[in-house]
Amino acid sequence: MNGDDSKKTEIAKQAFERARRMRNYAIAGILLFLVVLFFLMTIVRLGGQVGNTG
C-alpha cells in the first residue's frame, strides 16, 4: 500500500467512525423516545383504570 492509499483509508476510517457515532446517537434517541411513547400511551389507554390493581 502506498502513502496515498493509506491516507485515503485513514480519512475514510475517520468519516466512517464519525458517521457511525452519529447513527448510534440517533438510534439511541429513537429507542428512548419509543420507550417513553409506549409508556405514556399505555397510561392513556388505561385511563381511569391506571390505579386499579385488583
Partner 1 sequence: MSVTAEGRELSEVAGEFNLATVGDYFALLKPRVMSLVLFTGVAGLVLAPGAIHIGTALTALLSLAVGAGASGALNMAYDADIDRLMSRTRLRPVPRGVIPAGEAAGLGATLAVGSITVMGLFVNLVAAALLAFTIAFYVFIYTIWLKRRTPQNIVIGGLAGALPPAIGWASVTGGLAVAPLVLVAIIFLWTPPHFWALSLYRAQDYARAHVPMLPVVKGKSETRRQIVFYTVLVVLSGLLPVALGFAGPLYLAASVGTGLWFLVASIQVAFERDAVKEPRARRLFGISILYLFALFAALIVEQVAGIVPFAPLSVG
- Interaction site with partner 1 (CB under 8 A): 8-9, 11-13, 15-16, 19-20, 22-23, 25-26, 37, 40-41, 44-45
The residue (of 8 and 50) whose beta carbon lies closer to partner 1 is: 8
Rounded to a whole number of angstroms, the minimum distance from the CB of residue 42 to partner 1 is: 8
Q: What's the one-letter identity of residue 21?
A: R
DSSP result, 9-46: HHHHHHHHHHHHHHHHHHHHHHHHHHHHHHHHHHHHHH
The residue (of 20 and 53) whose beta carbon lies closer to partner 1 is: 20
Q: What's the one-letter identity of residue 32?
A: L
